[in-house]
Structure 1
Amino acid sequence: MANVANTASSLDLLRCFEDGAVGGCGVDVRQSGGRCVVRMAGDAGEGVMRFFEVLPGVRLSFNDFHMEECESGFAVSDEVLCVDYCFEGRMEQLLSDGTCSYVAAGDLKVDDRTRHVGRFVMPLAHYHGITVSFEVKRAQRSIERALGGFPVDLRALRRRFCASGDPAIMRGVPGAERIFSDLCAAPSEVRAACFKLKVLELLLLLETTDASPALNERRPYFHRSQVEKVKAARDSMVADLSAGFSARETAERVGLPLTAFKACFKGVYGMPPFAYLRARRMERAAQLLRDTGLRVADIGLMVGYDSPSKFTAAFKDVIGQTPTAYRRQGRFS
């Protein structure tokens, strides 16, 4: 398990990784000016966090993880406000009531990191996103110096979104995707100015966003015991991709009613059980087409299709090409 001390504020990043290897991962930390890059690699996978100081007390983190889980050791000592945006993947967090929350592609999460210590799981084994973090007191002074009369009070924003202590998660907030995409696309020659403008624009967006749906009409969450059963079911589903699959039998095997199993599985992995299994089968088939000379029909059998025509149709539906065309493209690319 990777152990990530998620430096959501302008704390000394090197101090958070002072051992040089955390949770079995090798950690490489490099700082230059207002930028710090943290790279982790180990049995659990690999991850890169690129930190930029926007203003004193305001920091951006570009997060790129290819791992199944990480352990956060970040504990706040001052008032902090963090805004996370997910581009791809999913992130699971255990909440105070024993349920699990999920941040998915297109989601905006606002929290104060008061409950950020612990395990974070990436059910799809990857997560790509951006974190904008504020040390409230210091950041407020910096913003006021940079732009006098700015109408956002960070403490009031923190109270509005973080009253429960659990993260407020919002989906499809108008304007959020554009702001975070602009942060990714900022040209290097004007990056510092662009970061400042976009962070201020984000604060204005939050100032005019109704927090009540995220706080009072939360999307369905699932208790940890259900989640663990669904993960056990997922492991059995992908252990042998050539085997047949029955959602009802799988649900019974892990001790969940069929309806609850399907709902929880989609909540954890973002898609129904059969769609998830088909995607994993086609990923495996694509890897075999690239790396082996096996016949297409034999690869189809290895991923659960005894009919070449059904395998071809499923592969094209998921990958966008027939297996033969995919293999040919790989050979000539």
Structure 2
Amino acid sequence: MIQHHGLEWYGEGATFAEVCNDYTKVEYKCNGIGVLYDYALFLGIDLIFMDFNCTDTFREPIPNKNIIEIRHYQKGRVEFELRNNKVFHIKEGELCINALANIPAAYSFPFGYGVGLSCVIDKDSVDAETQQIFSYYNIDVLNLGRELELEKKWFLCRTPQRLLHIFDELYAAKGIEGRNYFRIKLLELFYHIKQLRIEDQYEATYYAKEQIEIIKRIRQQLIENLDKKISIEELLRKEPMSKVTFQAIFKQIYGDTPYAHIKKYKMNLAAVYLQETDQSITQIAGELGYSNISKFARAFQEVFGMLPKDYRKAKK
């Protein structure tokens, strides 16, 4: 019989929001939205959908779980802090597999949101019946990914073409299909995971936690002063980091150069103001550091494909 996990399995701040026949909905106390949909598909094997819209850092509740975990993110980017104070990031569309030796200490979302899924195999809980079911298809569920050297490091790759439709179908079926559907899809997923080889991966880039904190600190200063012209060089004078290193790590975290990222941040904020306030376009431009209205309009059009005045008409 498949059993639901207790709250301690989900970590600090978790509460049960809904317990259904097919899944358990878990919500986290955070500064936004943090929701899991946990489908317990076999004894010891869970498929968990994650929907986060917050900037909180979440701690791994049970650090010594003997697990194999397959992660995929449909939207956003996730930051993992390992127990050696190293940090790395998983981007949209990447596939990651890890095991006991590399369970993260904490995770957070640099963009403030993340939508993904995680398949967790708790090797100490998988029973003989479950092992036998998968063995019919020549899948050793307790040693899935054995060829990927998971005892040494995370396996990270761009999601292979043959797996894309599986993840698309899983996301589309959340809250619609029942447990049996997801069991079939999981079997298909494991079949393809079994075909992966160490040569398919690319090296994850790790940074020291202290370096990540510098990047976030400077980004926050830039965001808090959108109406001012503050140079990165000026902010870096107080930090033990070169501009070249700053730009490289910034792009790894946020996927853009600092200039491009802040520009997009400003334009997204402008879009909110245009839609939700009656401020003039000149006022909005000024609040975001643009004294030249034409430059602001051009920057907005580059991001949204239309001028600010046309965007406001379309959204009002």
**TM-score relative to the length of structure 2:** 0.89
Residue 168 in structure 1 maps to residue 161 in structure 2: no
Aligned to 2:251: 266
CA deviation after TM superposition for structure 1 residue 77, in Å: 5.9
Letter in 1 for 2:182: F
Answering whether residue 266 of structure 2 is matched by residue 250 of structure 1, we say no
Q: Distance in 2 between matches of 1:17 and 1:61?
A: 11
Say what the alpha-carbon RMSD is for the aligned residues.
Answer: 2.7
1:36 paired residue among 4, 24, 29: 24
Whether contact under 8 Å (1:110, 1:162) holds in the other structure is no
What is the alpha-carbon distance in structure 2 between the residues aligned to residue 102 and residue 34 of structure 1? 31
Contact 1:71 1:117 in 2 (8 A): no
Equivalent in 281, 288, 309 of residue 324 of structure 1: 309
String of CA shifts for 1:105-159, please: whole Å, max 9, x gaps.
Answer: 0111111255546331211111100111112365473445445521121333254
- 1:94 equivalenced with 2:87 (yes/no): no
Distance 2:87 2:174 in 1: 38
Cα 1:144–1:255, aligned 2, differ >3 Å: closer, same or farther?
closer
1:76–1:118: structure 2 CA closer, same or farther, 3 Å change rule? closer
Q: Does 1:157 align with 2:144?
A: yes
Does 1:12 pair with 2:44?
A: no
Q: Distance in 1 between matches of 2:158 and 2:194?
A: 16
Q: In 2, distance between residues paired with 1:177 and 1:50?
A: 21
Specify the alignment match of 2:271 in structure 1.
286
Q: Is the 1:83–1:111 Cα contact (8 Å) retained in structure 2?
A: yes
In structure 2, C-alpha distance between the alignment counterparts of 1:11 and 1:211, rounded to whole Å: 34
Q: CA deviation at 1:246?
A: 2.8
Contact 1:10 1:53 survives alignment (8 Å) = yes
Equivalents in 2 of 1:230, 1:292: separation in Å? 32
- The verdict on how the C-alpha distance between 1:157 and 1:146 changes in structure 2, with shifts beyond 3 A counting, is closer
| 1:199 CA displacement | 0.8
Counterpart for residue 286 of structure 2: 301
- Offset of residue 186 of structure 1: 2.7
Query: How big is the shift at 1:183?
Result: 0.7
**1:227 Cα deviation from its structure 2 partner:** 0.9
- Does 1:82 find its partner at 2:64? no
Q: Distance in 2 between matches of 1:264 and 1:47?
A: 27
Q: CA deviation at 1:238?
A: 0.2
Q: Cα 1:270–1:188, aligned 2, differ >3 Å: closer, same or farther?
A: closer
Matches within 5 A, 1:120-139: 120-136=107-123, 138-139=125-126
Deviations 1:280-311 (A, max 9, x none): 11121112112221111221111121111111
Whether the 8 Å CA contact 1:58–1:133 is kept in 2: the answer is yes
Following the alignment from structure 1 to structure 2, what is the Cα–Cα distance between the partners of residues 221 and 188?
Answer: 35
Q: Secondary structure at the match of 1:238?
A: helix
CA gap of 1:165–1:30, structure 2 versus 1, over 3 A, is farther
SS of the residue 1:277 aligns to:
helix
Q: Which blocks of at least 5 consecutive residues in structure 1 are unaligned?
A: 1-8
- The change in CA–CA distance for 1:10 and 1:223 in structure 2 (over 3 A counts) is farther
Is residue 195 of structure 2 the alignment partner of residue 202 of structure 1? no
Contact 1:100 1:224 in 2 (8 A): yes
**How many residues are matched?**
315
